[in-house]
Structure 1
Amino acid sequence: MLQQGTKAPDFSLPDKDNHPVSLSDFKGKKVILYFYPKDNTKGCTTQACTFRDAYSEFEALGAVVIGVSKDSTRSHTNFASKYELPFLLLSDPETQVIQAYDVWKEKKMYGKTYMGIVRTTYIIDEAGMIEKVYEKVKPAENADQILEHLKGEA
């Protein structure tokens, strides 16, 4: 994982509408950058919906929420539409940004080993520095954890 206090790698990835989005577009704002394994799966849907439900609070705090996975822009369009997700979903099918943020790891399920995204959330400050890292987050708790941190309650 990238460490707190280090510069967040800049990137440019397409959003669900295939428009390029860069981290540097949000200089001067706090960015919640969360990496998740796959659209429309139970844990990922839970996590996205908790960010959706708390979205007005993130906006009130001046924070931008961005989700990143390997899924296609088309998959993101369907996912965002189905669950009315108001925040950005970025597509990284080549895993360049996923690897730059060190969340592409060996995983095991049902005795099989494979490479995949380890659910991780980074809070990036207004200057582009990593303020906080949440590793192996629980989907239902992640948005609340972030809000507590942003409000100074964590």
Structure 2
Amino acid sequence: MKLAEALAERAEAVRRVSQLRARIIGSARYQEGETPPENAAELLAESERVLDELEALIRRINATNAATRLDDGATVTDALARRDVLRLRHSLLTAPADAAAGADRRGAGRQLRSELLMLSALPVADLRGQADRLAREIRAVDTLIQRANWEVDLID
């Protein structure tokens, strides 16, 4: 099985646990004289099986990510950490750039002579340029990770 297939299975298992949780909650109580929609105890047992499978799958994914080297010599785990931090850096630049540019306000400048003029406290163009460079780096790291996901076999 390829790493990408394991990641898809992990996502499906997480969805399944979420669905089972909702069904368990929906069947946890019922009125006297009625039948619960489903057997909550059986659903709990099924969720435990899915969670055990999920744990084993996550262990294999993590082991594969830690052992797999990318073209730049970093492990997939290193690349995932890099991508996560790059995304945070990107949002740390774009949100203030949007705020400084008045993205949440319609129109620039004053509406009326009596209004105060709003000024930017940050260099919006510079922030956007830095954010663009980070976005390119994010895409490059993501491409390396995606390539590994489809080329690397999951460790047993």
Report if TM-score (shorter chain) is over 0.5: no
How would you bin the TM-score normalised by the shorter chain?
A: under 0.3
The structure that has the greater radius of gyration is 2
Question: TM-score, normalised to structure 2's length?
Answer: 0.22
More strand by share: 1
More helix by share: 2
Question: TM-score, normalised to structure 1's length?
Answer: 0.22
